[in-house]
Amino acid sequence: MQVKDVSDLHAELGREKLLPAIQASVVEVQVQDRQQSGNKRPPLTIRTIVEILAMQFDPADFILPNGYLTLGESAAMCGMGGVGKSRLVMQLALCCRTGREFLRWETRGPELRWLFLQTENSCRRLQADLERMLSAFTPAEREAINTGVFLHTLEGDEDGFLALDMANCERISDAIQKIDADIVVFDPLRDFGIDDLNTDAHMTETLREISRLTRRGNARRVPLVIHHALTGKAGIQKVMGFDRSSFGRNSKVLFMWTRAQINVAPVRPDDNSTLIIASGKCSNFSEFQPFAVRLNFDTMLYSRDDDFDVEEWRDSLDKAKSVADKLTLDGVFAMIPETASIPKNTVIQKLQDKGIGEKKARAFLDGHKSASGPIYEWHIKRSGKRDEIHLARCAQRDWER
Amino acid sequence: MERIAKARGWKRETIRDLTIGPHLGWHEGKLAFIYESGVKLRWRQHGERIVRWAFGKPWLWRGSIIDTASTIYLCEGETDAISLIDAGLESDWRTVAVALPSATTFNERWADLFLGKEVILAFDADKAGREATHRVSRLLRQHVASLKQLNWRGLQRCKLKT
């Protein structure tokens, strides 16, 4: 039941829990923004084409000169849970602060301050990662990092809870103002969600709130959202190509909101040390070609792996699919002897070896077997056991039973 | 009285005390909210909820007790206030629940009543409630010691946890 007033709450929670719940959820009235919205907003800015052409822009606005991180513009990184998105963004922050290249991309803005609002990694995990990451930097670089990278840590009961309700909006806004951050990382988007992010309405509301919070007081501040992507092989296949825009979960709204998006996917199902980095979107410039990166376990930093053939990797994903699509009667006949029979399980195993699922293989065989062919099912008697099911190209004769 | 208490999940004593108030009554099969300025009747007819003023004019329901308290929960509708009272809001004698007759009814001259009080706006979690919060808070904030509101998102989550 949707609770819409105090009486509903009384009915839902009962009288014993009503007051504690209400008293815990009382917040200051937010009147300031409303007042401003009443009549104090500045007029709309209107320019002629000549004025726009005469404008001067600072190239330093492009924190990544390829356009994937720009002051004043929203950005996103998408990837499956645990693949290494947070670590990659942390590496980006460290590289920006120290002026180092990030995955061979030039970085700008060593003076920019980064705030990570994260809800997943404990202090222990952060310490373990950061110790190794910082080992790759000089003492002077570490000092630059220390004065410009800040993380929300999970220490109190309320720390992992950053859903954008009114109280958390204030907490986040206060943190952003206090740190005077230039780039605010929301990691992961799911934990900031206003209700269910699988719905467009709530995704829109959440992203709008993130924009509002981030840009309050500084319109050039960047909201960088880390978002979970679709899982499984079908999800990974969307990391690049025509479906790259739908790589993130319920990505339709996110894709419209963000100005640039980087997709991250693991190369192998059981190993996240080699990743594919691909472009999801870039509104400012042309998109980069996908490439692979490999994790150095000593420094926990990623570096490009030019020996890795991304096209071949993509083909291998497609190939597995195309083999599965080639489940034909001729193919099955090739596995069955012309005059004898073969155990059905053996045929299914052979089909599975070709990348065809057991369910699909069984359904195909069952759909083509009948008393009149084309595939015949034989029942081989076994003493004290159930009949063994064989497949053959001809009907079973009595003496063969 | 028994029927209302049961239907709403309120205690009989809550209803009894409100009728003694007198803030609540019963008139020709209709629930009567007794204001210092008149009486508002509420009943159901053919499944439809009907609200009419028997006489008088809108004011704050239980507006006269604001003066006796330091903390005021201002609700959107009398039944919300009754729910808070039923949950024991007024047990410390310093906190009271009062109600607007509707989300859109708040005269700016009533703001003086809340001078120096701690006020919590307990309006509904809908558009009308949000607009009422905005409008009433603008009228009250010059007069009150503190002005707060319910965080419905937090309450929704609290409900889910429960």
Of residues A7, A25, A28, nearest to B158 (C-beta): A25
Q: To the nearest whole percent, how much of chain A has pLDDT over 70?
A: 94
pLDDT tens by residue, B95-127: 999 999 998 889 888 999 999 999 999 999 888
Whether residues B89 and A19 touch (CB distance < 8 A) is answered with yes
pLDDT at A32 over 60: no
Of residues B77, B121, B159, nearest to A9 (C-beta): B159
pLDDT tens by residue, A249-297: 888 899 999 999 999 999 988 889 999 999 999 998 899 999 999 999 9
Indicate the pLDDT class of residue A36, thresholds 50, 70 and 90.
very low
Mean pLDDT computed over A140-153: 94
Mean pLDDT computed over A27-36: 61
> Does residue A293 contact residue A304 with C-beta atoms inside 8 Å?
yes
Burial of B91 (0-12, 13-18, 19+ CB in 10 A): exposed
pLDDT at A64 over 90: yes
Q: Considering only CB atoms, which chain A residues are within 8 Å of B152?
A: 3, 25
Indicate the pLDDT class of residue B2, thresholds 50, 70 and 90.
confident
Point out which residues pair with A204 in neighbouring strands: none
pLDDT recorded at residue A323? 57
pLDDT at B47 over 50: yes
pLDDT recorded at residue A39? 52
Q: To the nearest whole percent, how much of chain A has pLDDT over 90?
A: 42
pLDDT at A3 over 90: no
pLDDT recorded at residue B115? 92
pLDDT recorded at residue A33? 47
According to DSSP, the β-strands at B71-76 and B95-100 are parallel
Of residues A6, A25, A28, nearest to B84 (C-beta): A6
pLDDT recorded at residue B159? 59
Indicate the pLDDT class of residue B81, thresholds 50, 70 and 90.
very high
pLDDT tens by residue, A194-205: 778 888 888 998
Range in A110-114, A136-140, A276-280, A362-366 with the lowest mean pLDDT: A362-366
pLDDT at B160 over 90: no
DSSP string spanning B73-112? EEEESHHHHHHHHHTTGGGGSSEEEEEESSTT---GGGGG
DSSP string spanning A143-204? HHHHTTEEE----STTTT-----HHHHHHHHHHHHHHT-SEEEEE-GGGG-SS-TTSHHHHH
> Does residue B75 contact residue B98 with C-beta atoms inside 8 Å?
yes
Burial of A75 (0-12, 13-18, 19+ CB in 10 A): buried
pTM: 0.55
Range in A48-57, B87-96, B107-116, B130-139 with the lowest mean pLDDT: A48-57
Mean pLDDT computed over B142-157: 85
According to DSSP, the β-strands at B118-122 and B95-100 are unpaired
pLDDT recorded at residue B3? 80
> Does residue A7 contact residue B155 with C-beta atoms inside 8 Å?
no
ipTM for the predicted complex comes to: 0.91
How many residue contacts between A and B have a Cβ separation below 8 Å?
117
Whether residues B154 and A166 touch (CB distance < 8 A) is answered with yes
What is the DSSP-derived secondary structure letter of residue B60? -
Residue B128 touches chain A, beta carbons under 8 Å: no
Q: Considering only CB atoms, which chain B residues are within 8 Å of A21?
A: 155, 158-159, 162
Range in A230-234, A271-275, A348-352, B27-31 with the lowest mean pLDDT: A230-234
Whether residues B138 and A35 touch (CB distance < 8 A) is answered with yes
Angle of helix A6-13 versus helix A15-24 axis, rounded to 10? 130
Mean pLDDT computed over A192-221: 88
Measure the CA–CA gap between B49 and B44, rounded to whole angstroms: 5
Q: Which two three-digit tokens encode residue A385?
A: 């056991």
What is the least distance, in Å, from the CA of A117 to any CA of chain B? 20
Measure the CA–CA gap between A75 and B64, rounded to whole angstroms: 55
Higher pLDDT, A328 or A207: A207
Residue B34 touches chain A, beta carbons under 8 Å: no
**What is chain A's Cα-based Rg?**
29
Instruction: Residue A242: count other Cβ atoms within 10 Å of its Cβ.
Output: 7
What is the least distance, in Å, from the CA of A7 to any CA of chain B? 5
